[in-house]
């Protein structure tokens, strides 16, 4: 061990009184223990940062999936109305041409009657003026 300059001069541990030597030995043991604790804490911190990286990536993936689910939830009502509309169109298309002609005679609306009505309104406006 290096020389000690405790008393204002170079002193070796063997020249110190017995009580100071025991204190010095205890300090050395504590220093070794603290170094071991510091090393263990540093290693634990590194391990923790290595474990946090996959968790952070997983959190990003989960948040992206949550955003996708929310956008799909917004589409549910739209899909429900599309399903109803598709069902109505298929029912209309399954009817025979005779049944459709009969409905027209009775004045029941046909498939696409809104579009036909709008075109009729334009023609009427063109003929009669504003």
Q: What is the pLDDT of residue 118?
A: 53
Lowest mean per-residue pLDDT among 7-16, 87-96, 119-128: 119-128
CA distance 69 to 76: 11
Per the structure, the count of domains in the chain is 1
Does residue 124 form part of some domain?
A: no
pLDDT in tens, 32-90: 999 999 999 999 999 998 989 989 999 999 999 999 999 988 888 888 888 888 888 88
DSSP code per residue over 37-90: HHHHHHHHHHHHHHHHHHHHHHHHHHHHHHHHHHHHHHHHHHHHHHHHHHHHHH
Q: Is residue 54 part of a domain?
A: yes
Sign of CA dihedral 84, 90, 94, 95: positive
| Residue 41 within any structural domain of the chain | yes
- Domain encompassing residue 6: 1-74
Residue 100: the pLDDT is 64
62 domain-assigned = yes
């Amino acid at each position: 061990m290096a020389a000690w300059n405790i008393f204002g001069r170079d002193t070796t541990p063997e020249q110190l009184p017995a009580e100071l030597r025991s204190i010095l030995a205890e300090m050395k043991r504590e220093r070794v223990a603290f170094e071991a604790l510091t090393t263990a804490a540093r290693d634990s911190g590194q391990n923790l940062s290595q474990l946090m990286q996959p968790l952070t990536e997983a959190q990003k993936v989960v948040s992206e999936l949550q955003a996708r689910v929310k956008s799909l939830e917004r589409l549910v009502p739209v899909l429900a109305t599309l399903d109803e509309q598709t069902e109505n169109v298929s029912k209309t298309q399954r009817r025979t041409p005779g049944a459709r002609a009969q409905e027209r005679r009775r004045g029941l609306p046909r498939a696409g009657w809104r579009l036909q009505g709008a075109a009729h309104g334009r023609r009427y406006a063109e003929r009669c003026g504003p």
